[in-house]
Structure 1
Amino acid sequence: MKQNVLFATLLAICFTANHAMAQIPPAVLPGFTAYADPTEENVEISSRSGVVNWTGNSNTVNFYFHAASTGPLKVTMQAKSDAASKISVTVNGAEKIVSIPNSTDYTNIPVLQTNIKKPGFYCVSLKGLEKTGHVYADVKSITLNGAAVKNIQFNAKPWRRAASVHLNYPVPEGKNVEWFYGEIKVPEGEDQLGTYFMSCGFHRGYFGMQVNSPTERRVIFSVWDAGGEPDERSNVKYEDQVVMLAKGDSVYASGFGGEGTGGHSHWVYNWKAGQTYRFLMHSVPRGTTTTYTAYFYVPEHQEWKLIASFRAPKDGKYMGHLYSFLENFSFENGHIGRKGYFGNHWIKTNTGEWIELTKAKFTNDATAKAKDRIDYGGGAENGWFYLWNSGFKPANAQYGDMFERPTTGKHPEIVLPPF
């Protein structure tokens, strides 16, 4: 009798466990969210088709996710190939060599099962081993099943950039910001391609430095047009357009669109990681317009360089909503971590008073708010504020957190060249 009761109890436990697992829906990681390492070469991550044209085996194709729960994890792949091939699949230390059949339709291919023992970020990594045709595999998606899928987080959108993060600097009430000064230092190895380290942002524009390609870096300054601008600047009324008044030697200037519209300027300059760079903004309101002028200190010349000066319509006030940000603007390396230090920010009022900005409020963008990406953060250390994003490591800051750095008590000495 006791044996029957024990058997019935075990049967009930198994039934309950299987029923609970059945209630956890599978997680489908789309192919268009993958990243290729070390570079996206000999493989294409298509926003429509996923992993395609995978012809080389010098890189891996990786799918990232965050497991909030522990337990079994079953991995299945939806893939096809133009001829028989083999790839290896690795996750959580488990590896399996998988044969991809020759097919014109995606096939559901069982891969492996592993056991997630602790919450954290994980990666399903694919590597080409053998192929008899043109490609190793076209991969539509990776499907995850099991108890470890409960409350799983992953990016389900083709937007593969990291979350943008910001530092917002409170200004004492009643103070008019005529001048806005700030500094940036990017640690060596954190100057990844497709990154914008922005020092001096305000309600109409932004001023900082970018890594644009392996051979080009820029100092960039832009001011938005007035009103609710369309994406095409040609559709913006002339009276709403920002007007360029001046630009420095070798500075490129034009209008821009696609993300709002406005006036854009940049200077190609090979700034270096590990060095500190200085940025200075000036605002002059007049009637219903404000002229915004950006200066960059060139350490090799020990001189401030004019980047550009724009007149913004429908404004007529000094700078407000002061902030810095860190942005990843390339899709291909949205998985690689980057970090920047932002510090020694000061304002000078229209009455000549210098005020040091030692507090900053942490905010982030829609990608973070939607929890598409949860690897980002910021704080204060070694006398600087810092921001970081990507790298698939746990966030160390939340929206609205306040940071504070120590005061230096010494405002910058600014000597602009005569014009």
Structure 2
Amino acid sequence: MADRCVEPNAARSVHLRYRVPDHATSAQNTVSVSLSQTGTYFCAINFRCGYMGIQELYDGKKVVIFSVWDNKTDDDPEIDRQAKATYQGQGVDIQRFGGEGTGLRCLLPYDWALNEKTIFRVDSETDGTWTAYSGHYFDQRKNEWFHIATLKTLTQGKLICDCVAFVEDFRRDGKSFHEKRKACFSDFKYLADDQWKGCDNVRFTADPTTVLNINAGCEENGNLFLETGGDTCNCDTPLNETVKTK
């Protein structure tokens, strides 16, 4: 008889979902990792056509990542569906990626530290049926913004729309399920109608697996957090509910 209690290979992916209007042109969020494991991605902004954040790779090296997907909806063979790079920051490695969709991925070595805040911002600008997405992060070492890259993709003129922050275990070796990860997210805002606006209604979601060693909530300082794997207890926010702020 098959064992019905087989553990997942990976810690469950967990998300914070921010409501952002379709006409917003920019979004900004701050991530601070309090507990990391190799093979973990901490996404600050997952927007309509891409995502950006920080990773700890399999070998423990740390990077900034900014990616944009190819157009997924138009299967006309006569249409160029591949994302293009129109600007590449110094030291940034841009490559094609596959797997969960295809597109362009930018990697930049950045030895971020635990409990250190890293601010990310994505700006969008339409050019006919294409949209150019410019990814930036605030370099704490140099105390300045760094323009990672500008990547454009076929969108039929769409901009950023609803945004998501998430924590994902991509090591998926069975052991990683038993390891806890935690990150805090703060000061999320978006630019619409020439004004930066905050988002008070943030919903906690997760991938379709059913394990409940996941959690989300609000710390005393007002930062929202995501936690997954190991001995995490779902004791602050029920799944698919709004995170209550302090």
Q: If the length of structure 1 is used for normalisation, what is the TM-score?
A: 0.54
Q: Is the 8 A contact 1:198 1:324 kept in 2?
A: yes
Which residue matches 1:179?
A: 26
SS in 2 for 1:334: helix
Which residue matches 1:327?
A: 168
Cα displacement (A) at 1:229: 9.1
Q: Is the 8 A contact 1:291 1:310 kept in 2?
A: yes
Determine which of 47, 50, 64 is the counterpart of 1:219.
64
1:400 aligns with 2:245: no
1:388 aligns with 2:199: no
Determine which of 70, 92, 111 is the counterpart of 1:270.
111
In structure 2, relative to structure 1, the CA distance for the partners of 1:285 and 1:220 (3 Å cut) is same
Q: Is the 8 A contact 2:55 2:63 kept in 1?
A: yes
Whole-angstrom distance in 1 between the partners of 2:17 and 2:6: 27
1:169 aligns with 2:57: no
Whole-angstrom distance in 2 between the partners of 1:28 and 1:237: 50
Unmatched tracts of structure 1, length 5 or more: 1-25, 30-153, 231-235, 407-419
Which residue matches 2:182?
A: 339
AA in 2 matched with 1:360: V
Whole-angstrom distance in 2 between the partners of 1:393 and 1:405: 20
Structure number with higher relative contact order (C-alpha < 8 Å, ≥ 6 residues apart): 2
Which residue matches 2:121?
A: 280
AA in 2 matched with 1:223: V
Cα displacement (A) at 1:237: 7.1
* Cα deviation 1:330-373 (Å, max 9, x = unaligned): 02322101110011101112x31110123211111122xxx2x2
Which residue matches 1:205?
A: 50
AA in 1 matched with 2:32: K
Cα displacement (A) at 1:155: 3.1
Cα displacement (A) at 1:259: 1.2
Cα displacement (A) at 1:380: 1.2
Over the matched positions of the two proteins, sequence identity in percent amounts to 28
Cα displacement (A) at 1:214: 4.2
Structure number with greater Rg is 1
Cα displacement (A) at 1:323: 1.0
Whole-angstrom distance in 2 between the partners of 1:214 and 1:272: 16
* Cα deviation 1:3-46 (Å, max 9, x = unaligned): xxxxxxxxxxxxxxxxxxxxxxx6627xxxxxxxxxxxxxxxxx
Cα displacement (A) at 1:160: 0.4
Report the count of equivalent residues.
Answer: 241
SS in 2 for 1:240: coil
Whole-angstrom distance in 2 between the partners of 1:311 and 1:274: 32
Unmatched tracts of structure 2, length 5 or more: none
Whole-angstrom distance in 1 between the partners of 2:113 and 2:23: 34
Shifted more, 302-311 versus 312-321: the winner is: 312-321
Whole-angstrom distance in 2 between the partners of 1:176 and 1:314: 13
Q: If the length of structure 2 is used for normalisation, what is the TM-score?
A: 0.90
In structure 2, relative to structure 1, the CA distance for the partners of 1:267 and 1:238 (3 Å cut) is farther
Which residue matches 2:9?
A: 160
Whole-angstrom distance in 2 between the partners of 1:377 and 1:323: 16
